Amino acid sequence: MIVGKTHPNVLAHEGESYRFELQNLVDQLGLQDKVVFIDKFLTDEELKEYLTACDIYLSPYPHEQQISSGTLSFAVGAGAAVISTPYWHAKDLLKDDRGILTPFNDIESMRGNIKLLYTSHRLLAWHRFKARSYGEQTVWKNVAKMYIELLNGVTTPVRSLIDYEKYLSFDLKREA
């Protein structure tokens, strides 16, 4: 699946050329029955649904200077095995075996790592476990709880810890 709307800044400068290139590639390779394009901006709930259902999340940014990727963070939080190019955010987030980094613009390396994960269920499960374990620590709900506990330890609490949960959303923890 290729999910999501083209970023507005990319759309303004390049239009839908990248999406069209991907669609043409899918057609050339005869993969129309294997690849689905979902061209829409996703709600938090829809994003959670797609990411928790995904086995492998690809993040192939072309340049190291990519500062962040919200969906990469969400994918790790959802426990997806991640294959990414080594842009700054990915190098930090995927260290300690939380994902696989491939060189920029190296299609063969990306392809080889996808094949590796799909043919080794144990390795796929390991990367999903590592991502999920780290991701559970970093979802907003848990980060907020750590800050509230820290602040409650050094100040007089304004709200009890019970109240904070109603202000938080988008917990990507998988349902058991």
Domain boundaries, the chain: 42-137
DSSP 111: H
Higher pLDDT, 8 or 113: 113
For the entire predicted model, the pTM comes to 0.74
What tokens does 7 get? 């970023």
Q: Answer yes or no: is pLDDT of 153 > 90.
A: no
Q: What is the DSSP secondary-structure string of 75-128?
A: HHHHT-EEEE---HHHHHHTTTTTSEE--TT-HHHHHHHHHHHHH-HHHHHHHH
For residue 28, give every residue at least 6 positions away whose Cβ sits within 8 Å of its Cβ, in sequence order, or none: none
3-state helix, strand, coil in the chain (%, to 5): 55, 10, 35
What tokens does 161 get? 């810890």
- Domain 42-137 sits in CATH at 3.40.50.2000
Higher pLDDT, 162 or 43: 43
In tens, the pLDDT along 60-69 reads 998 888 888 8
Report the sign of the C-alpha dihedral through residues 117, 119, 120, 126, in that order. positive
